Structure 1
Amino acid sequence: MGIPSDDVVLIRQPERAGEPSEITVSCPDKTGLGCDLCRVILLFELSIVRGDVSTDGKWCYIVFWVVGRGRKATRWGLLKKRLLGVCPLVLLPLGIESYYSKQQDVMGNAQQTQVFLLKFSCYDRTGLLHDVTQVLCDLELTIRTVKVSVTPNGRVMDLFFITDNRELLHTKSRKDEACDQLRTVLGDCMTSCEIELASEDMSACLQASSTLPPSITEQMFSLELQEVPSGRPSRFVSDSVSITIDNSLSPGHTLIQIQCGDHKGILYDIMRTLKDYNIQISYGRFYTSQNGNCDIDLFVIQKDGKKMIDSHKQKALCSRLRMELFQPLRVNLVNRGPDAELLVANPVELSDPFLS
């Protein structure tokens, strides 16, 4: 029997106040690992100010320097547990590597994440939706879809379709914990709170309602690509965003250089895009300066292990990256008869791989 390594995730606190904490991850590699790690770090309200990524295709070594941006103290023990959860952990029986990720994949295919319906009613007040989403975030409950209705007399009926990162929401204690936390925050304005497993019909409606009309999608997510003819390497710019693809510096890797302004979750946005496009990072460096600018160098390969030579694929990838970095959020106001609908979307969550 093998024993899981204790050194997969290490977190080192700074020696002096004001310095970043250091998160080190050493584990078997997989496409999209950087994206998964960045998402966990982002959910814990931490900002990555510097990063180093190195891999030989089988084993990777990642270091993130992070600082806290949230109102609450970081739960480092829980953060480590969540980071371990997305790593393909290694067993070392007789020197032969075996991956937990294979077992996790089998379990994941056998049992999909359950969707639950949180129903509560209360009296309306300013900041209600913000407070509720903050509670659910602290409880590690992921919101899939929200339906909010307000009556003329100020009564609110909210329907939250949620999933549980801890996978315990089927238990009575976990449901009671969520409802009690909501009652503590909302106080006397809450009149009822229930959590139940969403039926198949509800899940089908959830999936169908998550798709925006094509006209709205095109308006919110389209962004014309401006190409500056400068020969090789190819260069795409948009105001403060600069993306360069170069195949001349490495015999086996494509270099992607990005210079842009910083924003919350920027590294996750980039990593998520590369994961969607099945692009693997072999080596990378990330740095944010005091003036709010980011410099990112990534040596990457395609899923077939080769460089990205096709100019069409280069242009498509740069266009997508440019869209994420130039305008990470899309906002649109749509008239719905007597009401107006405010749509806020993050295009990085679109999945549009082109390397199949």
Structure 2
Amino acid sequence: MGIPSDGDDVVQIRHADAAGEPTVVTVSCPDKTGLGCDLCRAVLLFGLSVVKGDMSTDGRWCYIVFWLLPRGRRPVAVPWDLLKDRLLQLCPVAPPFGFGSHDAYLAAAAGLQDVPPPAPQLFLLKLCCFDRMGLLHDVTRVLCELELTIRRVKVSTTPDGSVLDLFFITDARGLLHTKSRREETQDRLESVLGDSLTCCEIDPAGEDMVSCCLQSWAWASLTPAVIAQMFSTADRVEEQPIGTRGGGGGTIISVTMDNSLSPAHTLIQIQCGDHKGLLYDVMRIVKDCNIQISYGRFYASQNGRCEIDLFAVQSDGKKILDQHRQRALCCRLRMELRRPLHVALVNRGPDTELLVANPVEVSGKGRPLVFYDITLALKNLQRRIFLAEIGRHVVEGREWEVYRLHFGEEHELSSALRKKIVDAVTNMLMGWD
């Protein structure tokens, strides 16, 4: 494996020759821990599904190939140039020829070595408007199209039908501090909300403002009983263990490890049903467990079954020989692939609250497009949302991103309707048509 010549692109995209065939994306760049996870996250963020993948590295340089298709029945226009830019941003910068590891400080001083990017600036988007069906999803869709990431949200509706939406957002393009970018965002929101919009403001969010809002959105109402309902391994009537239906590939999940097939690597073999972001989930777990992939292969069959082979080592470059660590990693992969997200409905007096939780990466990143999928599912079901919050919660030492949405009803929801809502949200999150 060698470093490409100056004329080669780090990211190359070869479009399909015919409709329905996958687009091939090739990435060749210096290696870093967790690069596969970061690339898979970007692919998921652009609404794409990996139908086949190959990745290999010699510890210094990596070569990754993804075969991608838009997820869903209807074809969508994918901004491939924008995806290429985002993938490039994730790739480490190669030092010039002649720089060795002992010269890393020189490369860093010259601005040539990959360094963690600074934390993105946080902004507060305040919207005041009149409520209508699907309002929250329409706003979320605009923000996603503009590459504005929702970090926190507080949505409230008054009895007279007025809505106050507070979104803490960051800009993937890093331009929201400019007047033109703010005006672009405001114009797009005005075009969607129309005359119902009465106020649209975007301002930098100071630390005091964020701290105050986060304290006012305390998780006191996330009681031990609710936590038990959300994270218990036992099946409940009002809780859908994601991965048990709708995937087309059955419910069997097999995770095995073998140290006999390679003198230097542990082979991790996974067989499971397909779902949205499957490869991202696998790579996220591997990254969080500080496991390094030397060679990997992914294949999704037409019947919804997926096969993943990973030749891996620990962070010290050695095989995974410890039996306890093997069992822990296999158990976590089986558990999270069967149930990558948690969905539940709970009663809040006269109201019903939808709760969705997904694990947060050790790096602090949450799963992309979750809020988008939740609001789209509720819009399709014609459910009005009068209160919504996003927050972080620690359960048994692990951090989770928790989405809470209230929709008031005149009468208590029947068990059939509750099941319909949970199924619809689950299927949207998992990409099951």
Q: Classify the TM-score, shorter chain.
A: 0.7 to 0.9
User: Following TM superposition, by how much is the alpha carbon of 1:220 offset from its aligned partner in structure 2, in angstroms?
Assistant: 2.5
Q: Which moved more, 1:142-151 or 1:336-345?
A: 336-345
Aligned twin of 2:160:
153
1:262 counterpart residue number: 274
Is residue 273 from structure 1 mapped to residue 285 from structure 2 by the alignment?
A: yes
Residues 76, 239 of structure 1: alpha-carbon distance in 2 compared, 3 angstrom cutoff? closer
The alpha-carbon deviation at position 124 of structure 1 amounts to: 1.0
Alignment of 1:37-116 (within 5 A): 37-69=39-71, 72-93=76-97, 102-105=113-116, 108=117, 111-116=118-123
Shift of residue 325 of structure 1? 1.1
Contact 2:93/2:113 (8 A) holds in 1: no
Select the residue among 254, 268, 271 that pairs with 1:242.
254
CA distance, structure 1, for counterparts of residue 199 and residue 154 of structure 2: 16
Q: What is aligned with 1:228?
A: none
- Residue 25 of structure 2: aligned partner: 23
Q: 2:155, 2:164 within 8 Å by CA — same for their partners in 1?
A: yes
Q: State how far apart, in whole Å, the 1-side matches of 2:325 and 2:100 are.
A: 38
Structure 2 letter corresponding to 1:78? L
Structure 2: how far apart are the matches of 1:220 and 1:148? Answer: 22
- The residue identity in structure 2 corresponding to 1:51 is G
Query: Is 1:172 the counterpart of 2:179 in the alignment?
Result: yes
> Is the contact between residue 4 and residue 90 of structure 1 (CA under 8 Å) also seen in structure 2?
no
Alignment partner, residue 409 of structure 2:
none
Change (3 A) 1:89 1:102: closer
Consecutive unaligned residues in structure 1, runs of 5 or more? 225-237
Q: Where does 1:325-344 land on structure 2 (aligned, <5 Å)?
A: 325-344=337-356
Change (3 A) 1:302 1:132: same
Structure 1 residue 96 displacement after superposition: 6.2
Give distance in 2, aligned partners of 1:101 and 1:31: 18
* Residues 260, 295 of structure 1: 8 Å contact kept: yes
C-alpha contact 1:5 1:90 (8 A) present in aligned 2: no
CA contact (8 A) 2:28 2:63 kept: yes
Which amino acid in the other structure matches residue 64 of structure 1?
F
TM-score normalised over the length of structure 1: 0.86
- Alpha-carbon deviation of 1:323? 2.3
Partner of 2:421: none
Q: CA deviation at 1:191?
A: 1.2
Q: Deviations over 1:101-142 (max 9, x none)?
A: 73533xx3xx42211111101111111111111111110011
TM-fit CA distance, 1:314: 1.8
- Residue 72 of structure 1 and its aligned partner are, at CA, apart by 3.6
1:220 aligns with 2:224: no
**d(CA) in 2 for partners of 1:31, 1:210:** 34
Preserved contact between residue 221 and residue 347 of structure 1 (Cα < 8 Å):
no
Matched residues in 1 for 2:315 and 2:219: separation?
A: 28
Of 306, 318, 321, the match for 2:333: 321
Q: RMSD of the TM alignment (CA)?
A: 2.6
Regions of 4+ moved over 6 Å: 350-353
Give SS of 1:314's match: helix
Aligned pair partner of 1:119 in 116, 122, 126:
126
Report the 3-state secondary structure (helix = DSSP H, G, I; strand = E; otherwise coil) of the residue aligned with 2:121: coil
Q: Distance in 2 between matches of 1:49 and 1:298?
A: 16
- The Cα shift of 1:29 comes to 0.6
CA distance in 2, matches of 1:222, 1:317: 19
- Give, in whole Å, the separation in 2 of the partners of 1:187 and 1:323: 45
1:198 corresponds to which of 181, 205, 210 = 205
Letter in 1 for 2:44: L
Q: What is the deviation of 1:90?
A: 1.4
| Alignment TM-score, normalising by the size of structure 2 | 0.71
* Pairwise CA distance, 1:308: 1.2
Q: What is the letter of the counterpart of residue 174 of structure 1?
A: R
- Measured in 2, the distance between the counterparts of 1:267 and 1:161 equals 28
Q: For 2:147 and 2:185, how far apart are their aligned partners in 1? A: 10
Kept in 1: contact 2:95–2:113 (CA 8 A): no
8 A Cα contact 1:145 1:210, kept in partner: no
* Aligned positions of 1:304-319 closer than 5 A: 304-319=316-331
SS of residue paired to 2:115:
helix
How many Å apart are 1:340 and its aligned residue?
Answer: 3.3
- Identify the residue that residue 229 of structure 1 maps to in structure 2: none
Name the count of aligned residue pairs: 334
